[in-house]
């Protein structure tokens, strides 16, 4: 009986039409992958079309793209078009409180850089490419309001109407971001678990305009950080010579968003802690009060799918804090992983969904934890001489053992070693670095014979298979 029921389930080869909710970064890329496998795809997207004039133009919001995201975009044939829009960032440019600057390179090799890219530009490029397949239709202004699993229908509110229409689906993929309506429906249906872990800190986007003539007012090829212990300001370059700055602060307390009530409060904080940024930010007070304060949290849920009906990907399944610059990269990697599962066309959808979840869940948990740790590194630890020493030493150890010892940051950003593996090896490596730097003032004080022995003993049997 069970077998007969199983056999009745459709496989990807038999399913013609796939419905997505959310045409953000993951949804648009996934649609391209699915169209490449011969499916027709309908995406219901809550927002209006961002490519139409008037839709959220004027603000340059960017994100950091790294190797995992680039690989997925390359696989979809999009990198030739995207590459001219990328601004390489070779390291962190630290701004100290007296205006001093210090560059800490991200990687050990010239190609080990991350890239600043316009979020809107990237999303538009993905939407264009999805529509150009001739198999993808994006229905803008259509917000998902729930799912009726019994009749395989998705509930949609379109435009300003208060009416809810129901549209049938064969397979439903929830790429509707951190407040996912598809997730709510799956968890309600399955009695699953949702954990929302607030960070207790929020963020505010601000801008550093270009100098006259479109010149950059600071080093272009760097991610700028003003690390201030409990909080920080960062800035990423945009193609037009401007930077998008983001202020991260606790929500409450003496120095917090809650304490900044007037333009004078904001100015005083910047005069005390970010003085060199003030001349770069002529619209500081106005933007501070005009722009919303964003909320930061880690979202974990279980399960990610319901039977052979629906699956969550990207932020809908695992929203993380932004401090490793990996949320979009991980969402793109999800698309690759599902596409790999779909290559096994004979498997029914419920098995594909289960395979996807068991493959990606450990990695989602690992990057969520590493992203939280990276906040402490960016706002505080980067200032310590011990951090610089460990960074220098880890590069030297990587040169001596290129297939065994790769700094954790590099494993996450410049390789596609699964996140969980990067986390596991990173913990072993941190132990080695800790022991080797005890009492050392510079890399020259380190006993490299001992280092080689430790690496052989603790990572010896585990040469990494590295992809380019």
Ligand X SMILES: Cc1cc2nc3c(=O)[nH]c(=O)nc-3n(C[C@H](O)[C@H](O)[C@H](O)COP(=O)(O)OP(=O)(O)OC[C@H]3O[C@@H](n4cnc5c(N)ncnc54)[C@H](O)[C@@H]3O)c2cc1C
Binding residues (CB under 6 A) for ligand X: these are 21-27, 44-47, 63-64, 143-144, 175-177, 181, 203, 246, 294, 314-316, 322, 325-329, 331
In the complex, the smallest distance separating the C-beta of residue 75 from ligand X, rounded to whole angstroms, is 17
In the complex, the smallest distance separating the C-beta of residue 94 from ligand X, rounded to whole angstroms, is 18
Strand partners, 234: 225, 246
Judged by DSSP in three states, 136 sits in strand
| Cβ-based nearer residue to ligand X, 44 or 349 | 44
Give the residue from 286, 298, 293, 347 showing the smallest Cα distance to 323: 298
Q: Which two tokens stand for residue 393?
A: 């030493």
In the complex, the smallest distance separating the C-beta of residue 463 from ligand X, rounded to whole angstroms, is 28
How far is it, in rounded angstroms, from Cα 401 to Cα 291? 47
| Cβ-based nearer residue to ligand X, 17 or 351 | 17
Return the C-alpha torsion angle 341, 182, 139, 335, nearest 10. Answer: -20
Q: How far apart are the first and last CA of the chain?
A: 48
| Cβ-based nearer residue to ligand X, 326 or 437 | 326
| Cβ-based nearer residue to ligand X, 19 or 326 | 326
Strand partners, 248: 203, 232
| Cβ-based nearer residue to ligand X, 65 or 459 | 65
Q: What DSSP designation does 49 have?
A: P
Residue of closest CB approach to ligand X: 24
| Cβ-based nearer residue to ligand X, 410 or 429 | 410
Judged by DSSP in three states, 445 sits in helix
| Cβ-based nearer residue to ligand X, 153 or 396 | 153
The count of residues in the chain is 468
Judged by DSSP in three states, 303 sits in coil
Contacts of 8 (CB under 8 A, 6+ apart): none
In the complex, the smallest distance separating the C-beta of residue 111 from ligand X, rounded to whole angstroms, is 19
In the complex, the smallest distance separating the C-beta of residue 85 from ligand X, rounded to whole angstroms, is 15
Judged by DSSP in three states, 171 sits in strand
In the complex, the smallest distance separating the C-beta of residue 326 from ligand X, rounded to whole angstroms, is 5
How far is it, in rounded angstroms, from Cα 130 to Cα 299? 28
Residue 385 C-alpha from the chain's centroid: 29
What values do phi and psi take at 49, rounded to 5?
-65, 115
| Cβ-based nearer residue to ligand X, 156 or 420 | 156
In the complex, the smallest distance separating the C-beta of residue 156 from ligand X, rounded to whole angstroms, is 8
In the complex, the smallest distance separating the C-beta of residue 453 from ligand X, rounded to whole angstroms, is 38
């Amino acid at each position: 009986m069970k077998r007969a029921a199983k056999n009745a389930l459709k496989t990807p080869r038999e399913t013609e039409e796939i419905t997505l909710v959310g045409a953000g970064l993951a949804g648009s890329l996934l649609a391209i992958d699915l169209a490449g496998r011969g499916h027709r795809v309908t995406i219901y997207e809550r927002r209006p079309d961002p490519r139409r004039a008037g839709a959220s133009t004027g603000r340059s919001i960017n994100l950091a793209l790294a190797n995992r995201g680039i690989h997925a975009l390359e696989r979809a044939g999009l990198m030739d078009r995207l590459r001219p829009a990328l601004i390489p960032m070779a390291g962190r440019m630290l701004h100290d409180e007296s205006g001093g600057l210090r560059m800490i390179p991200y990687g050990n090799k010239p190609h080990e850089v991350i890239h600043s890219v316009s979020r809107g530009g990237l999303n538009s490029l993905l939407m264009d490419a999805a529509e150009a397949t001739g198999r993808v239709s994006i229905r803008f202004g259509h917000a998902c309001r729930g799912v009726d699993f019994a009749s395989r229908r998705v509930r949609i509110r379109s435009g300003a109407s208060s009416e809810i229409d129901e549209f049938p689906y064969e397979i439903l993929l929830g790429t509707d971001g951190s407040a996912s309506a598809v997730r709510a429906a799956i968890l309600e249906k399955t009695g699953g678990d949702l954990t929302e872990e607030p960070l207790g800190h929020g963020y505010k986007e601000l801008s550093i305009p270009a100098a006259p003539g479109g010149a950059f007012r600071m080093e272009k090829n760097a991610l700028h950080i003003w690390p201030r212990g409990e909080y920080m300001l960062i800035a990423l370059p945009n193609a037009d010579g401007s930077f998008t700055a983001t202020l991260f602060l606790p929500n409450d307390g003496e120095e917090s968003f809650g304490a900044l009530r007037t333009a004078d409060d904001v100015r005083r904080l910047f005069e005390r802690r970010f003085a060199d940024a003030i001349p770069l930010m002529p619209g500081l007070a106005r933007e501070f009060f005009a722009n919303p304060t964003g909320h930061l949290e880690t979202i974990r849920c279980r399960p990610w799918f319901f039977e052979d009906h629906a699956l969550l990907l990207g932020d809908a399944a695992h929203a993380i804090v932004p401090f490793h610059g990996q949320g979009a990269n991980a969402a793109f990697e999800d698309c690759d992983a599902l596409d790999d599962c779909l290559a096994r066309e004979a498997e029914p959808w419920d098995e594909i969904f289960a395979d996807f979840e068991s493959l990606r869940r450990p990695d989602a948990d690992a990057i969520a934890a590493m992203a939280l740790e990276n906040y402490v590194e960016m706002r505080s630890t980067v200032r310590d001489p011990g951090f610089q020493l460990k960074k220098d030493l880890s590069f030297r150890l990587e040169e001596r053992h290129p297939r065994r010892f790769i700094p954790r940051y590099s494993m996450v950003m410049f390789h596609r070693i699964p996140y969980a593996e990067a986390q596991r090896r990173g913990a072993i490596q941190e132990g080695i670095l800790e022991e080797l730097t005890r009492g050392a003032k510079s890399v020259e004080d380190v006993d490299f014979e001992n280092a080689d022995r430790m690496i052989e003993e603790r990572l010896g049997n585990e040469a990494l298979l590295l992809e380019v």
